[in-house]
Amino acid sequence: MTHTRPAARPANPHFSSGPCAKRPGWTIQNLQDAALGRSHRAKIGKAKLKEAIDRTRAVLGVPEDYRIGIVPASDTGAVEMAMWSLLGARGVDILAWESFGAGWVSDAKKQLKLEDIRVFEADYGKLPDLSKVDCNRDVVFTWNGTTSGVRVPNGNWIAADREGLTICDATSAAFAQDLPWAKLDVTTFSWQKVMGGEAAHGMLILSPRAVERLENYTPAWPLPKIFRLTKGGKLIEGIFKGETINTPSMLAVEDYLDALKWAESIGGLASLQGRANANLAMLSDWVERTGWVDFLCEEVDNRSNTSVCLKITDPKVAALDADGQAAFAKKLVTLLDEEGIAYDIGSYRDAPAGLRIWAGATVEVSDMQALLPWLDWAFGEALASLEAA
């Protein structure tokens, strides 16, 4: 079986789940005002960093009494900073339904060596039972599982009168999904996801409750300089005013500012969410009428509108062993890559074989629409090769 080669092509073939597509209309000329060759501690550098913090607050609607800081090592660095600085004061519940959540479990057990840990796990495509989480303990979780395409549907399961802190890895959720700030004490993300920014810089957002913990709790383990958020028992306020712990890339900062200004120009958070939702709707309609593919996440309300993960359900492919299914998916992905239609849309290496298509706000719905016939074409070509083997 083969499909007719489509005539229309996506104008932008960048469907990677990180770093993600640049915002529509982006060119390197947009970054001419970057403070290159200048110290990030100079007036101009600090002003740029403070502007990035202020615009982030405005677009995301972060409460005024929450601190926002730019930290090293992308989202991973921000999560690690929070875990190493805050955990250990009380028991912790950690949720894992994809590879990054599993990484936080491993770090808590093997690196921090916490003893009072409860782990709630689920297979790729599913969520653990959120009703079993005890919010009087600290809670560590991903809002949107980038490698599984599964998100928590809302924050209703988080107690408003909780005694513990919630530490939320929101890297592929921020700017595309509703984040209930009153339920989140630590929120992290990177610029490279929904905003299409550059890698290596993370954002750390702290509630007043998280700040109180930082100022009144000292972990039992030593903290590397790059993780230290307090000095003499007080929060280092400069971090949350643009005085970064280490040297940031001022080119990357300018790129993030460009993305934030674009977000403001199209209507802010509601528009960003609407664009991601429109892309998911386009994909959902296609999956509904296509017999060879389905969502990895079965629950509609739990499906990501950014990192959309798909499984190949065609009987001939499903009958293959795991290596055969992986080879088939790789063939399909390679065909699209060679044609210049879609780059980097294979499943994450630890996830079940299939496709992972970024549908976030920087992806035009017209490009998503143009991609879909090519997915059918590539499947037909890959299946023909399988049948001929």
Please state the three-class secondary structure of 136-204 as a single string.
CCEEEEECEECCCCEECCCCCCCCCCCCCCEEEECCCCCCCCCCCHHHCCEEEEECCCCCCCCCCEEEE
Mean pLDDT of 263-280: 98
Q: How many CB atoms lie within 10 A of CB 119?
A: 17
CA distances to 79, 142, 159, 167 from 120, in Å? 18, 12, 17, 15
Q: Is-contact 198 362, C-beta < 8 A?
A: no
User: What distance in Å separates the CA atoms of residue 153 and residue 297, rounded to the nearest whole number?
Assistant: 12
The closest of 225, 220, 177, 241 to 77, measured between CA atoms, is 225
Tell me what the mean pLDDT of segment 230-256 comes to: 97
CA distance 9 to 133: 46
**pLDDT of 296-343, one tens digit each?**
999 999 999 999 999 999 999 999 999 999 999 999 999 999 999 999
Extract long-range pairs of 344-347: CB within 8 Å, 24+ residues apart.
344/14, 344/15, 344/16, 344/17, 345/15, 345/16, 347/147, 347/309
Distance between CA 119 and CA 117 in Å, rounded? 6
Q: Is the pLDDT of residue 117 over 90?
A: yes
| Cα end-to-end span (Å), the chain | 14
Tell me: pLDDT of 2 over 70.
Answer: no
Asked if residue 381 lies in contact with residue 375, where contact means CB atoms within 8 angstroms, the answer is no
**Dihedral of CA 287/288/293/295: which sign?**
positive
% of the chain at pLDDT higher than 90: 99
The pLDDT value given to residue 89: 98
Token code pair at residue 120: 């709630």
pLDDT at 1 over 70: no
Query: Does pLDDT of 208 surpass 70?
Result: yes
CA 284/CA 280 separation, integer angstroms: 6
Q: Does pLDDT of 291 surpass 60?
A: yes
Distance CA(172)–CA(149), nearest Å, equals 10
Percent of the chain with pLDDT over 70: 99
Q: Spell out where the chain has E strands.
A: 67-72, 92-96, 117-121, 138-142, 144-145, 150-151, 166-169, 186-190, 201-206, 230-231, 234-235, 293-295, 307-312, 355-358
Q: How far is CA 188 from the centre of its chain?
A: 9
Mark residue 385 as left, alpha or beta (left: phi above 0; alpha: psi -120 to 50; beta: remaining).
alpha
Could you report the per-residue pLDDT of 145-196, keeping only the tens digit for each? 999 999 999 999 999 999 999 999 999 999 999 999 999 999 999 999 999 9
Q: What is residue 29's predicted lDDT score, i.e. its pLDDT?
A: 97
Q: Confidence class of residue 4 from pLDDT cuts 50, 70 and 90?
A: confident
pLDDT in tens, 49-107: 999 999 999 999 999 999 999 999 999 999 999 999 999 999 999 999 999 999 999 99
Q: Which domains does the chain have, with CATH numbers?
A: 28-265 (3.40.640.10), 269-388 (3.90.1150.10)
Q: Is 268 helix (H, G, I), strand (E, B) or coil?
A: coil
Average model confidence (pLDDT) across the chain = 97
- Confidence (pLDDT) at 389: 84
Report the SS3 class of residue 370. Answer: helix
Please tell me whether the overall predicted TM-score, pTM, comes out greater than 0.95 for this model.
yes
Over its C-alpha atoms, the chain yields an Rg (Å, rounded) of: 21
Rounded Cα gap, residues 324 and 318, in angstroms: 9
Place of tokens 């809670």: 139
Q: What is the mean pLDDT of residues 332-356?
A: 97
User: Residues near 221 by Cβ (< 8 Å), separated by ≥ 6?
Assistant: 84, 88, 112
